[in-house]
Structure 1
Amino acid sequence: MGIAEVFQRYFIDPIKYNQGYNIVNTLTYALILGLASLGVYKILKKLNIKYDNAFFRALMPYMILGAFGRALTDATIIPRTYLTVTPGIYILVFTITFSALLITHKLFEDWQKVFLYFGWSLVGIEGLLLLFNIDKVDFNLTVLKYFIPLATIALITIYLLSKKIWLVKENSYLFYAHFYDATTTFVGVDFLGYWEQHVVPRYLMELTGTAAVMYLLKFAVLIIALYLMEKLEESESDKELMDFIKMVMFILGFAPGTRNLLRMLMGV
Structure 2
Amino acid sequence: MGVGEIFREYFVNPILYNTGYNIVNTLTYAIILGLAAMGIFKVLKKLNVKYDNAFFRALIPYMILGAFSRALTDATIIPRTFLTVTPGIYFMTFIITFSALLIAIKASEDWRRTFLYFGWALVGLDLLLLITHLDKVNLTAEPLKYFIPFLLVAVGVIYALSKRIRLIEENSYIFYAHFYDATTTFVGVDFMGYWEQHVLPRYLIDLTGTAAVMYLLKFTVLLLALYIMREIQESESDKELMDFIKMVIFILGFAPGTRNLLRMLMGV
**TM-score, scaled relative to structure 2:** 0.98
Please list the CA deviations of residues 186-212 of structure 1 after superposition, one character each: whole Å capped at 9, or x if unmatched.
000001110000000000011111100
Q: After superposition, where does 1:60-209 map in structure 2 within 5 Å?
A: 60-209=60-209
* Matching residue's letter, 1:132: T
C-alpha separation between the residues in 2 aligned to 1:264 and 1:85? 17
Unaligned residue ranges in structure 2 (runs of 5+): none
> Aligned-pair distance for 1:233?
1.2
> Aligned-pair distance for 1:64?
0.2
> Aligned-pair distance for 1:235?
6.8
* Matching residue's letter, 1:93: T
Unaligned residue ranges in structure 1 (runs of 5+): none
Corresponding position: 1:255 with 2:251: no
Give the SS at the match of 1:49.
coil
C-alpha separation between the residues in 2 aligned to 1:190 and 1:237? 43
What is the total number of aligned residue pairs between the two structures?
268
C-alpha separation between the residues in 2 aligned to 1:23 and 1:105? 40
Two-structure CA RMSD over aligned residues (Å):
1.0
Corresponding position: 1:243 with 2:243: yes
Please list the CA deviations of residues 142-177 of structure 1 after superposition, one character each: whole Å capped at 9, or x if unmatched.
100100000000000000000111111110000000
Match of 2:47 in 1: 47
**TM-score, scaled relative to structure 1:** 0.98
Match of 1:224 in 2: 224
Match of 1:233 in 2: 233
C-alpha separation between the residues in 2 aligned to 1:235 and 1:227? 16
Give the SS at the match of 2:81.
coil
Question: How has the CA–CA distance of structure 1 residues 207 and 235 changed in structure 2, closer, same or farther, with 3 Å as cutoff?
Answer: farther
C-alpha separation between the residues in 1 aligned to 2:8 and 2:136? 32
Please list the CA deviations of residues 208-230 of structure 1 after superposition, one character each: whole Å capped at 9, or x if unmatched.
11100000000000000000000
* Matching residue's letter, 1:91: F
C-alpha separation between the residues in 1 aligned to 2:58 and 2:96? 14
Please list the CA deviations of residues 218-261 of structure 1 after superposition, one character each: whole Å capped at 9, or x if unmatched.
00000000000000114776110000000000000000000000
* Matching residue's letter, 1:173: Y
The more displaced of 74-83 and 217-226 is 74-83
The runs of at least 4 consecutive aligned structure 1 residues that moved more than 6 Å come to none
Q: Percent of aligned positions with the same letter in both sequences?
A: 74
> Aligned-pair distance for 1:137?
1.2
